[in-house]
Amino acid sequence: MIRWPGRTSQEKRGEPASLLVVGLGNPGARFEGTRHNAGAEVVALLAGRHSGSLRKSKELARVAEVRIGSEWVALAVPQTFMNESGQAVAKLVRRHGIDDPERIVIVHDELDLPVGDLKVKSGGGLAGHNGLRSITAHLKTQDYLRVRIGVGKPPGRQSGADHVLRRPGSAEATELAVVAQKAADAVEVILAEGVNEAMSRFNVRL
């Protein structure tokens, strides 16, 4: 069992969450619909599926607590900027009684995957993702689960930062809307059947 930095018994209230699902993105209207906010959009989709409403919380995030099957699940979208995501995640871990990194699912955009690809992963490297870097720094582990949404490499000489902070064209946006639904499905499979089943089911491009 992990002893998270700074955790106290007073910070955990009520029934611990079976899973903490965090969708990464940047706050504010100007970032809505950008590739970097793909993870946040998946969590909003999950909240809608399960009659939840993302609301501002003291944990620097918009949070919904929903019942999926028989399990309580905390859904969250940090309201920090991407490179400070770990601040919110560390607070959410304490708030929701998470004592195992495999009860944390981070949903995020991934430059190293083609548009429309989806990969479920347990632990591993950071692939240059500033949100993951911040989360790892705050949690002192990178053994949490990830649902990675492919947004593709930037075209020509465009930087990765410019690419992810832009909105995709209509054809790509349609692909990302489809993969967002699959990413939400993958989270539900992780909860119900475990990460290995989710990897075997979703880590194949049809």
Q: Kindly tell me if the per-residue pLDDT of 162 is higher than 80.
A: yes
User: How much is the mean pLDDT over the chain?
Assistant: 91
Q: What is the extent of the structural domain holding 83?
A: 13-202
CB environment 162-182: b (16+ within 10 A), e (fewer): ebbbeebeeeeeebbeebbeb
* The predicted structure's pLDDT at residue 3: 52
**Inside any domain, residue 24:** yes
How far apart CA 106 and CA 110 sit, in angstroms, is: 12
Q: Return the CATH number at 45.
A: 3.40.50.1470
Longest CA–CA span in the chain (Å) reads 52
* The predicted structure's pLDDT at residue 9: 45
Instruction: Report the relative pairing of strands 145-150 and 104-110 from DSSP bridges.
Output: parallel
Greater confidence (155 vs 70) lies with 70
How far apart CA 45 and CA 113 sit, in angstroms, is: 21
pLDDT band at 153 (very low <50, low <70, confident <90, very high): confident
* The predicted structure's pLDDT at residue 128: 83
Residues with catalytic function:
36
Tally of domains within the chain: 1
**Inside any domain, residue 7:** no
Q: What is the pLDDT of residues 13-31, one digit of tens each?
A: 567 999 999 999 999 999 9
**Inside any domain, residue 194:** yes
pTM: 0.92
**Inside any domain, residue 50:** yes
What is the amino acid identity at position 90? A
**Inside any domain, residue 4:** no
**Inside any domain, residue 153:** yes
Greater confidence (126 vs 90) lies with 90
Q: Kindly tell me if the per-residue pLDDT of 121 is higher than 50.
A: yes
* The predicted structure's pLDDT at residue 12: 52
**Inside any domain, residue 2:** no
Greater confidence (206 vs 82) lies with 82
How far apart CA 93 and CA 199 sit, in angstroms, is: 24
**Inside any domain, residue 174:** yes
Contact predicate 165/36, CB 8 Å: yes
Q: Kindly tell me if the per-residue pLDDT of 8 is higher than 50.
A: no
State the CB neighbour count (10 A cutoff) for residue 94.
Answer: 18
Q: Is the dihedral of CA 58, 48, 173, 109 positive or negative?
A: positive
Provide the strand spans (E) within the chain: 19-23, 55-56, 61-68, 71-78, 104-110, 118-122, 145-150
